[in-house]
């Protein structure tokens, strides 16, 4: 009973429209994830791809009552999670949209993984900056700087974790899971895509929040 009262108090000051938006995003993602969990291109690779996604999802759900992101941040996070769910279903290397782009631009490989890494920087730099604004109380240049560098650092950490997971859990799936497609500079190219996306987000956010008349 006391837990119910406490939960009600916690939600009392929250905009009902925001709650509905969050619930809608959650429901939409779960439906998409469940649909894409059916008959993925490679089941073992799909399981590996979803390890970090499940951890992030659990973290967001577990901390929801203590720390709520803005509606915009949740939309951006949901978009990236949906993009990753699509990539995991097709093993990134075989995403149809990537093949369409490859053929249209006459590229040598499927670049959907590059798009996903760019989206990591573009879509997640804003929520990370929100963390620094609200928890570390950073403002101005430093809030943008630490958000950008944190996202780029996380991309590097994920590249390392992916390599460890591939070697420990399923070495025979290493190349498929990492999605290198014969590119020896794949990790560096992925991080460059993250940096580019984070820079675009940082510039757009700075312009949007610039005081009028300046």
* DSSP annotation string for 13-73: TS-HHHHHHHHHHHHHHHHHHHHHTSS-S-HHHHHHHHHHHHHHHHHHHHTTTT----HHH
Asked whether the predicted pLDDT for residue 7 surpasses 50, the reply is no
Tens digit of pLDDT for each residue in 144-188?
999 999 999 999 998 887 777 767 766 665 555 455 555 666 778
Query: If you average pLDDT over residues 64-90, what whole number do you get?
Result: 96
Tell me the whole-structure pTM to 2 decimals.
0.85
DSSP state of 93: T
Mark 151-187 as b/e (b = at least 16 C-beta within 10 Å): bbebbeebbeebeebbeeeeeebbebbbbbeeeeebb
Tens digit of pLDDT for each residue in 96-129?
988 898 898 888 888 888 899 999 999 999 999 9
- The whole-angstrom distance between residue 112's C-alpha and the CA centroid of its chain comes to 14
- The residue that leads in pLDDT, 6 or 115, is 115
- The whole-angstrom distance between residue 148's C-alpha and the CA centroid of its chain comes to 14
**Domain spans, the chain:** 21-208
Q: Nearest Cα to 82, choosing from 40, 29, 26?
A: 29
Please give the biggest Cα pair distance in the chain: 63
DSSP state of 10: H
User: Residue 63 and residue 52: Cα distance in Å, rounded?
Assistant: 16
């Amino acid at each position: 009973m006391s837990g119910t009262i406490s939960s009600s108090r916690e939600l009392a000051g929250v905009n009902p429209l925001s709650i509905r938006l969050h619930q809608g995003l959650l429901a939409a993602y779960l439906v998409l994830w469940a649909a894409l969990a059916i008959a993925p291109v490679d089941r073992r690779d799909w399981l590996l791809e979803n390890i970090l996604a499940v951890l992030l999802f659990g973290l967001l759900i577990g901390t929801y009552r203590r720390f709520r992101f803005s509606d915009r941040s949740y939309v951006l996070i949901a978009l990236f999670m949906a993009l990753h769910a699509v990539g995991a279903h097709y093993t990134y290397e075989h995403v149809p949209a990537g093949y369409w782009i490859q053929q249209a631009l006459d590229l040598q490989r499927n670049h959907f993984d590059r798009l996903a890494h760019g989206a990591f920087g573009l879509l997640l730099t804003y929520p990370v900056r929100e963390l620094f604004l609200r928890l570390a109380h950073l403002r101005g240049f430093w809030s943008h700087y630490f958000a950008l560098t944190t996202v780029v650092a996380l991309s590097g950490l994920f590249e390392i974790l992916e390599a460890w997971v591939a070697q420990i859990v399923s070495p025979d799936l290493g190349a498929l899971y990492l999605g290198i497609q014969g590119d020896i500079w794949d990790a560096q190219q992925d991080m460059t895509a993250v940096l580019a996306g984070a820079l675009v987000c940082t510039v757009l956010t700075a312009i949007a929040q610039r005081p009028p008349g300046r």
